[in-house]
Structure formats: structure tokens, C-alpha cells
Amino acid sequence: MPSRTGSHSPAGFGKSLPERGLLLLMVLVFLEGSVLPLGAASSPDTSHQTNLGDHQGTHTGPNSTKKPFPVLAVEYDRVQIPFEISLWVLLASLMKLGFHLIPRLSSIVPESCLLIVVGLLVGGLIKLAGEEVPPVLDSRLFFLCLLPPIILDAGYFLPIRPFMENLGTILMFAVVGTLWNAFFIGGVLYGVAQIQPANPSDLHQLELLPCLLFGSIISAVDPVAVLAVFEEIHINELLHILVFGESLLNDAVTVVLYHLFEEYAGVGTVTLLDGVLGVISFFVVALGGVLVGAIYGILAAFTSRFTSHTRVIEPLFVFVYSYMAYLSAEIFHLSGIMALIACGAVMRPYVEANISHKSHTTIKYFLKMWSSVSETLIFIFLGVATVDGPHAWNWTFVTVTVILCLVARVIGVVGLTYVINKFRIVKLTTKDQFIIAYGGLRGAIAFSLGFLLNQDHFPMRKMFLTAIITVIFFTVFVQGMTIKPLVELLAVKKKQEAKRSINEEIHTQFLDHLLTGIEDICGHYGHHHWKDKLNRFNKKYVKKCLIAGERSKEPQLIAFYHKMEMKQAIELVESGGGVKLPSAMPSTVSMQNIQPKKPPPAKPVERVLPQLPKGREEEIRKILRSNLQRTRQRLRSYNRHTLVADPYEDGFSDLLIKKQRMVELEKKIKEMSNYLTVPAAPPDSPTMCRARLASGRDTDFKPAQQQKGNKKCSDPQAYSMKPVSDSVPTIQVDLASPQSPDSVNLLDEFRHAGQQQPEVEDQGLMMKPPSGPSGPNKPREADEARDQQKLMRCLSDPGPSADEDEDEPFLP
């Protein structure tokens, strides 16, 4: 391994100056991280002793001279553990940060490899300093602290649809595949150990059961390693879910095999009865884990139904219930991983419907943060543990293990695919099989399980650990680094990055119903039929219990639509609140392009609009715009128990109001133009209109009208959401007709906002409609603007802001 580190680190150092500086900084950080604890490890003795001495001194002789009060005392050991934990986490995070600052490096070498190298370096430094390496990858720490966040993240964001669609294949790989791997590797290893070479080695002491135990430890594909590598190669959804799903679900098999063989390794024999019990135990462990997870998931969903008044702790429920599920499953030696997966997957749809958008974001970020820190720590610790670990290198054993792992995986995948393809409709191609076989990475779970072995029962523990580490390193380094080029070489289909569009959602739903319908017509009750039944049951009973309020009745499509609308609103708010529809679609197409509508009035509309100097218009626009934006930026007094402000949600309602207003406006313009310009309706009568649009081919008279329209379309009346136009499309009309509902709407909006926040309502008394018409339009408009500004003043923080300065000149 050291040679490998040597080959990698120059790649990292041969970078530009700032990057090199950063790396140096990082090295310093490790040094600090590793040396400080050492210093601490030695210093506590002295400081402690002196402290003790002090105490004794004061106690034995109350009359003795009083020591001066210690102004500065050093007491490191009091904080040692949390301090060191923080240091490790800091190191991990800085490392992660560092890798992403070096652009080329992260595209060549997967992060996991680099992190292991860092771990090796840190371990080496600690060792060089002559200190004992802390047992970082302790099994308790690993299974209770490091693993759950990663699995929860995976479970909560598990793509349910592809997972369920491929469940059979995944289970086949996870259960049968892992069993085959375990027995094949264990059996052949035992056989190899029994071969009598010329010189007797300690391999001969190896019995069958320890071999099988070793096989079951080494055969499980590791979710952490798979995630780390597969996230970087962006493989298509099917392959990703197959490999990843396998790595998650094989936990039950591993747990059972591990306990079974560990139990009987001491006894030495396994009877048939034990085998049968093992099979039963497998079902208990797997299904029990799922059941525990599902129960906690439902509990979490049910709890989230009532959190609408205490939004701050909403995310916590998700984490705590999941962790409880994991721990509860571990109490009974059930599969904790499966419990977590089930818990996350079960609670997600209901929790998401119940919690606020912000809480959802919080959950997402927390999960991602925890899981990525955990993952980083795991790989670093793997490196450190490698330096530390008691090794017993046995060439034969290690080589045979590595080769067997590869061979067993390939045979297993090819053999199982042969069977599975008979039942699958979307068959797995040879390429797919290759990637599945090649993606079978081993990782830290195997190491931790090996670490757990009892030295007394398994005298070969050291050799096992060494072999496990070698296999892990082999898979993570060799396979992990070559899989990306291979994927490109084989032109395996990649994941599409595009977001789901509303059309796709509509057609997904449509297809579901269509296929269910066709199945019903065929009289064949396939999985669409059952899925439909399940969906209906879910809608009818479960959702009602677990989701609060109206949203329980919301069909999926509408929920999707709302979510999309929300997302766009947020984008809009973040981008500064222009009234531009879907910013995801940078185009000039707007509602009016698709809406069956009549051509714009033939007569010019200029006469309706008062002539307004361009500059003046611009100013007013500015005032209005800044005020409109300010509604969202308003701050409320800080309160620990409520969120400071919900700019997104405010912004959302804001946007909805705006949108609504635009629709109204559009209607009004239509009416107005109708009234103003087309006294005789016939050409625009709805029936004519529809006939023309529905058939879309009678182009004989349309072009003429459209051309006419085109000529006139540049006037402001042709109200559109062109991105070039300014963000407040209502202004022209405001000026044109001061009594129009729009000018009132602005104030309505503030009133509305005021009602939303009762704590500012008393100040909101300032809100009142302009005190009667005062002469011509322009002063009135300014009046209104000032009024609103006053309002804004009392609502917003008193601090000076750039916008306010900008507004200053317009104040009377």
C-alpha cells in the first residue's frame, strides 16, 4: 500500500500554487489532528498529577499557605474525547473540500481511494510519532454511529419505483448471490487450505467453519463503497438500483450467516437442523427488520401529522424514529440496515406531504451532510486501521481470496442472470452483467465484522483481517478506479440528468392506468393490477390516517404539479422575483402562445394609455419593484421556537397572488379590448374562434389576422411575460386606470401579508389605502408608493439598505 500512496500523492502535489498551499494546509491539519492528541495523551499525566497534588495539599493541610488562584489552567483530558472527535470530523470535511478543489484529481481517482490514502497517511504519521493508533474503526462506533446515517440517506431517498419494479432481481442477487458467494469462497478456501504443499504451513489448521465464516464476511457487497463509486459514474438507473439494492438487502443474509457460523465455529459441527434453523432465522431477521422499520416509519408519519405548529422539530422526528428503528432491530439481532431502509421508504411519502417545505430541505441537507461525513470518516478510518491493524500476511491465503472473490462474483452474476432473464421482461445484457459483477465492491462493513471476531475462537483472525483489507483495497482501488473508464468504453447507458417534466409525470400516470386497464381486459392479474389495488388502498385508508388535512386527498399528479409550481416559485424568488413564468424554461413562450385566443384588437390602444415620459415610468417601476420585493425580505423578530421567516413560503404565496393578478389582468385586457375595439363581435365569437383553433388548418383567414396582430403586438397592451420586459407588468394599467383593482391589489397584498404574521399586525395599522384621489395620476401614484414605503419601513428592519437609498430621491 505505501507504494500506492507514493504514486498518488505527487499527483496531488503537482498542481497549481494555491492548491498546493491548500494541500499543505491540510497536511498541517492532520499533523495537528494527530499530534495534538498525542501531546494530550502524554500531557494529561503530568497536569493531572499536579492537580492531584494540589488537591492533596489543600486537603491535608488546611492551614498551609494558600496558593494563588490559577488564572489559566490546562485541563485537556476533560474535553479530550469530543475534541478528538471534532478534529476527526474536521479533518474528514477538509479532505472532502480539498478534493473537490482539485479539479482533475477528482475526475480520475474516486474520492474513496483518496480518502483511504489520507487515512493511511494519518495512520502512518501517528505511528511515526511513536504513539498508539486509536482504534478508530471500532465495530461499535462503526455500526452505531457511522453506518446509520449513510443507510438512512440511502433508504429515505431510495427510488421506490425502480426498486420495486426490480425487486425480484435484486432479491435474487442479494440472497442467492450472496449465499453462493459465501459458500463458494468458503468451500474453495477450505479446499485450498487442505492441499498439502511440500512445506507445512499454518493454513492447515484452518477448519471448514471459520472458512465459511470468512466467506460470508467477504462475500457481501458493501453499500458504502458501492454508493461512493456509483455516485461518481452516473450509471443508468436500472444498473444502479440493481447493484445498490443488492448491497442493501444482502445485509440480512450476512447477519444470519455471520451469527450462524460464529455460533457453531466453537462447537465445530453443524447439523441439518441447524441449517433449517438458519433458514428460518434468515426470514425472521429479514422480515423482522422490515417490520420493525415499517412500524417506526408509520409512527414517524403519524407523528408528522401533528407537527404543523412546531415546525422546528419536524426534521428531528425523521432522524430519531429512524435511528430508533435501527437500534430496535439491532437489539434483536435483526437486520438493522433493512429496518432503516424500510423505515425511510415507508415514512417518506407521508412525511413529505405533512412537513413544511423548509423542513423537507432541512431533512435533505442533514441527511446528505451526515452521510457524506460518515462516508468520509469511514474511508479515512479504513486507512488508519490498515496501518494499525495486527497483520498476518499469508500470500497464498490473500491471493486465493482475491481471485476467488472475483471468480465467485462473475459466476454468480452470470449464472443468476441466466435464470433471472427468463423471467425479466427488460433483459439484462452482457454489458449489464459485467457492470453488476464489476460493481461488487467490498467495504468497511466486512472489515468491521472481521474486527468483531473473537481472537480466542478464531486464531486466524489476523490473517482474516489482512485478507479482508486486501480485498477491500483491491475492489475499491482497482475496480473503483477502472469502472469509470470501463463504463465509458462499453458505452453503458448513463443516467439522464434532466428533471422530471410535467408531461412525463402525466404520461407515467397515464401509462399506469393504461397498463392496468389492458391487464384487466386480458383478464390477467399481473403486477400492475396489484399495484393499482395497493394504490387504491393507500389512498383510501392509509393516507387519511397519516396525512393531515386536504393533502391526503390530493392525487399524485396534482401533488407533483404543486411541487413543481413551488419549485418554480422558489427559483423565481431566489432569482429576484421577476414575473417570468417557469424559469426552468428560458424561452419566450408564454401562456398566451398556447391559449386559444383571438388576435389583438385591430385598433391601436395607445389612446387608452396616458402618455408618460419614459424616464418617469422607469422610476415608478423601480419603486414598485423594490416594494414588491421587500415584502419577502422583511425580517421578523428572532424567536427560538419558530423559524425566523419563511421567505420561500411567503414568496410562494406572493407569487401565487401575482400570478392570480396576472390572470385577472389578462381577462380584463381581453374584456377591455373587446369592448373598446370590437363593437361587433362576430369574428371573435367563441364559436368561430374555436373552430379556427381546433382545426388549425384553415389558414386561409388566419394569417391575415395574425399579421394584423403582429403589427400591433409591440404595444404594452399585448401583455406578455417576456423576460426583457420589466418585472411589473401591471404598471401600465395602474396608470391608465387608477381605480383599477390592480392598484388596490398591491395594498391587498400587504394586508394579506400582515394577516399572515400576527406579531406585526399592530404595526400594520399604518396600512391604509391612499387618502382619496389627489389630483392627477402621477402624484397619486407617488403617494401610494410612499405609503407603501412607510409601510415597509415599519415592517422591515430599521437597518439602512441599498434599496432604501435608491428610493430616497422619490420621496417628497
Partner 1 sequence: MRTNYRWISDVSSCCCLCFFSVSPEQIKNLHKRFQQLSDNEETISRENLEKIPALANNPIRKQIIDAFFDKRNQHQNEVGAFQEIGFEQFLMVMSHFRPPTLKTTEEEREAMRKEKLRFLFNMHDTDNDGTITLEEYRKVVEELLSKSGAIGLEAAKAIADAAMLEVASTNVPHMAPDDFYEGITFEHFEQILKGLEMESRMHIRFLDVDTMTMRCGKSKS
Site for partner 1 in 465-504 (CB under 8 A): 496, 498, 500-504
Binding residue for partner 1, selected from 305, 528, 625, 661, defined by CB under 8 A: 528
Binding residue for partner 1, selected from 70, 576, 586, 775, defined by CB under 8 A: 586
**E-only strand ranges, 307-461:** none
Shortest reach from residue 239's CB to partner 1, in Å: 14
Rounded-to-integer distance, Cα 263 and Cα 270, Å: 10
- Segment 730 to 789, residues that bind partner 1, using CB under 8 A: none
722 binds partner 1, rule: CB under 8 A: yes
234 binds partner 1, rule: CB under 8 A: no
**Site map (CB under 8 A) of partner 1, residues 658-697, x = contact:** -----------------------------------xxxxx
Binding residue for partner 1, selected from 80, 538, 552, 706, defined by CB under 8 A: 706
Which among 136, 154, 197 is positioned nearest to 326, based on CA atoms?
154
- On whether the CB atoms of residues 433 and 414 are closer than 8 A, the answer is yes
86 binds partner 1, rule: CB under 8 A: no
Identity of the residue, 32 or 520, whose beta carbon is nearer to partner 1 in the bound complex: 520
Q: Which stretch binds partner 1 (CB under 8 A): 91-99, 289-297, 591-599, 637-645?
A: 591-599
- On whether the CB atoms of residues 126 and 133 are closer than 8 A, the answer is yes
Name every residue whose Cβ is closer than 8 Å to that of residue 108 and which is 6 or more positions away in sequence.
Answer: 11, 481
Shortest reach from residue 423's CB to partner 1, in Å: 9
- On whether the CB atoms of residues 577 and 629 are closer than 8 A, the answer is yes
Ramachandran category for residue 720: left, alpha or beta (phi over 0 → left; psi -120 to 50 → alpha): beta
349 binds partner 1, rule: CB under 8 A: no
Binding residue for partner 1, selected from 140, 427, 544, 667, defined by CB under 8 A: 427
Rounded-to-integer distance, Cα 124 and Cα 389, Å: 12
Binding residue for partner 1, selected from 139, 361, 509, 552, defined by CB under 8 A: 509
Identity of the residue, 455 or 588, whose beta carbon is nearer to partner 1 in the bound complex: 588
Binding residue for partner 1, selected from 267, 276, 369, 506, defined by CB under 8 A: 506
Q: Which stretch binds partner 1 (CB under 8 A): 345-353, 465-473, 587-595, 634-642?
A: 587-595
- On whether the CB atoms of residues 754 and 767 are closer than 8 A, the answer is yes
Rounded-to-integer distance, Cα 556 and Cα 686, Å: 34
CB atoms within 10 A of CB 794: 15
- On whether the CB atoms of residues 187 and 212 are closer than 8 A, the answer is yes
Identity of the residue, 553 or 667, whose beta carbon is nearer to partner 1 in the bound complex: 553
698 binds partner 1, rule: CB under 8 A: no
C-alpha neighbours within 13 Å on the C-beta side of residue 701:
10
Altogether, the residues listed in the chain come to a count of 812
Binding residue for partner 1, selected from 25, 276, 713, 765, defined by CB under 8 A: 713
**E-only strand ranges, 699-793:** none
657 binds partner 1, rule: CB under 8 A: no
Binding residue for partner 1, selected from 457, 513, 603, 667, defined by CB under 8 A: 513
Q: Which stretch binds partner 1 (CB under 8 A): 89-97, 381-389, 424-432, 459-467?
A: 424-432
Shortest reach from residue 477's CB to partner 1, in Å: 34
Rounded-to-integer distance, Cα 5 and Cα 515, Å: 55
Rounded-to-integer distance, Cα 691 and Cα 674, Å: 19
Shortest reach from residue 604's CB to partner 1, in Å: 15
Q: Which stretch binds partner 1 (CB under 8 A): 2-10, 58-66, 335-343, 716-724?
A: 716-724
Shortest reach from residue 499's CB to partner 1, in Å: 9
**Site map (CB under 8 A) of partner 1, residues 359-378, x = contact:** --------------------
- Segment 566 to 585, residues that bind partner 1, using CB under 8 A: 581-582, 585
Read off the C-alpha cell for 108: 480520475
Using the 8-state DSSP alphabet, how is residue 494 labeled?
B
Shortest reach from residue 102's CB to partner 1, in Å: 33
587 binds partner 1, rule: CB under 8 A: yes
342 φ/ψ angles, rounded to the nearest 5 degrees:
-65, -45
Shortest reach from residue 509's CB to partner 1, in Å: 6
The count of chain residues that interact with partner 1, using the rule CB under 8 A, is: 74
Rounded-to-integer distance, Cα 299 and Cα 24, Å: 49
Ramachandran category for residue 414: left, alpha or beta (phi over 0 → left; psi -120 to 50 → alpha): alpha
592 binds partner 1, rule: CB under 8 A: yes
Binding residue for partner 1, selected from 160, 280, 369, 591, defined by CB under 8 A: 591
Using the 8-state DSSP alphabet, how is residue 235 labeled?
B
- On whether the CB atoms of residues 636 and 680 are closer than 8 A, the answer is no
- On whether the CB atoms of residues 223 and 154 are closer than 8 A, the answer is yes
704 binds partner 1, rule: CB under 8 A: no
Rounded-to-integer distance, Cα 269 and Cα 246, Å: 30
Binding residue for partner 1, selected from 514, 635, 681, 765, defined by CB under 8 A: 514
552 binds partner 1, rule: CB under 8 A: no
Q: In which element (H, E) is residue 174 found?
A: none
Binding residue for partner 1, selected from 17, 71, 425, 802, defined by CB under 8 A: 425
- On whether the CB atoms of residues 345 and 156 are closer than 8 A, the answer is yes
